[in-house]
Amino acid sequence: MATDFAGKTALITGAGRGIGRAVALGLGDAGARLILLARTTAQLEETRALVRERGVPAGRVSVLPADLADEEDRGRAVAAALAAGRVDILVNNAATVEPLGPTDGIKAGDLRLAFEVNVIAPAALTAAVLPGMLEAGWGRVVNVSSGIVANPAGMVRGNAYATTKAALEAHTVNLAAELRGTGVTVNAYRPGGVDTAMQAWIRRQDPEHIGSGLHERFNRNYAEGALITPEYSAAALLALLAGDDTGAIWDVSTAPVGA
Ligand SMILES: NC(=O)c1ccc[n+]([C@@H]2O[C@H](COP(=O)([O-])OP(=O)(O)OC[C@H]3O[C@@H](n4cnc5c(N)ncnc54)[C@H](OP(=O)(O)O)[C@@H]3O)[C@@H](O)[C@H]2O)c1
């Protein structure tokens, strides 16, 4: 990869698998120091091992197990990240697609949890790392969104997901306007249909619950080979991250490069 992020520190949420892992590998290749966050320590360690296999020294990658849904745990994690110095690049990638199903069966607590992981955690992490970025006059925040925001009716029985990702994009564009001229950019990224555990989990759900339309679409996309790889999507994101765009809703389909 041509992009050089040497000397920068990147905090990547959801770095234990899927798109987050691929972004971490790409940023490691580009010279960044990596802080890998997710709940599952074993998966974070797998990512760390993959990063190390590519020649990144041990001192350039650390793992930070934390549950982003838990305000206290999240606060502890971000404090630990910042204790080692400034975070220059924040990739808010972790998300939940739950709860799925008919909206009249969705409990308020489950909706609240989706907002906590998909909206509040990215906003809170951003707020925590922002002072350091502003002081440095340089920072990159990317919020991984979804194409669902362009077509909310396209994922019937995924109301919480559509709603939280729309909120995340509004947060992104508004914050970018607030920060214009500071050197800190804030963008959203729609990664495309990517072959990850999240997609596999949706395919396994009971069609009675998530609706046969949604179930068939996700299974058909997989069977027809329509999903892209996490590496392809991550490469497109990192190519965009190198520029000075801010307030943009990036989409893998219009990204300048892929892997
Ligand atoms: N795959 C697609 O087709 C697709 C399409 C559109 C948008 N996206 C977006 O792309 C991003 C990545 O998705 P993916 O497909 O790579 O998903 P994935 O394979 O399920 O990975 C999600 C990552 O987020 C972490 N995570 C989830 N909940 C967390 C929590 N409460 N606290 C900390 N970490 C948490 C997971 O680790 P733990 O479970 O160990 O915590 C995992 O590392 C998400 O924002 C998703 O909405 C994906």
Instruction: Give the pLDDT of residue 257.
Output: 65
Instruction: Give the pLDDT of residue 202.
Output: 97
pLDDT at 1 over 50: no
**What is the per-residue pLDDT across 71-85, written as a single tens digit (0 to 9) for each?**
999 999 999 999 989
> Is residue 185 very low, low, confident or very high in pLDDT (cuts 50, 70, 90)?
very high
From 145, 146, 189, 233, active-site residue = 145
The mean pLDDT value for 215-240 works out to: 97
User: CA quadruple 210, 215, 221, 222: dihedral positive or negative?
Assistant: positive
Token output for 105: 């069966």
Instruction: Give the pLDDT of residue 255.
Output: 82
pLDDT at 2 over 60: no
Which runs of consecutive H residues, i.e. helices, occur in the chain? 18-29, 41-53, 71-83, 108-115, 121-136, 159-179, 197-204, 207-210, 212-223, 230-241
**What is the per-residue pLDDT across 146-157, written as a single tens digit (0 to 9) for each?**
999 999 999 999
pLDDT at 3 over 80: no
How much of the chain exceeds pLDDT 70, in percent?
98
> Is residue 222 very low, low, confident or very high in pLDDT (cuts 50, 70, 90)?
very high
Cβ atoms of 195 and 224 within 8 Å: the answer is no
Task: Using the mean position of ligand 1's atoms as its centre, give its distance from the Cα of residue 90 in Å.
Answer: 15
- Whether 145 is catalytic: yes
- Whether 8 is catalytic: no
The residues near 63 (Cβ < 8 Å, ≥ 6 apart) are 35, 36, 37, 41, 44, 45, 47, 48
Break the chain into its structural domains and give their ranges.
Answer: 9-194+229-247
From 165, 189, 232, 233, active-site residue = 165
Pocket test for ligand 1, best of 23, 35, 39, 214 (most atoms within 8 A of CB): 39
What is d(CA 47, CA 139) in angstroms, rounded to the nearest whole number? Answer: 24
**What is the per-residue pLDDT across 40-64, written as a single tens digit (0 to 9) for each?**
999 999 999 999 999 999 999 999 9
| Average pLDDT of the residues of the chain | 96
pLDDT at 246 over 80: yes
Cβ atoms of 145 and 189 within 8 Å: the answer is yes
What is d(CA 35, CA 44) in angstroms, rounded to the nearest whole number? Answer: 10
Task: Using the mean position of ligand 1's atoms as its centre, give its distance from the Cα of residue 181 in Å.
Answer: 31
The listed CATH number (3.30.200.210, 3.90.79.10, 3.40.50.720, 3.30.1950.10) that belongs to domain 9-194+229-247: 3.40.50.720
From 8, 62, 146, 161, active-site residue = 161
Task: Using the mean position of ligand 1's atoms as its centre, give its distance from the Cα of residue 144 in Å.
Answer: 9
The neighbour count for residue 201, using CB atoms within 10 Å, is 13
The mean pLDDT value for 105-126 works out to: 98
The mean pLDDT value for 181-196 works out to: 98
The residues near 52 (Cβ < 8 Å, ≥ 6 apart) are 58, 61
User: Who lines ligand 1 at CB under 6 A?
Assistant: 13-14, 16-20, 38-40, 43, 67-69, 93-96, 117, 144, 146, 191, 193-194, 196-199
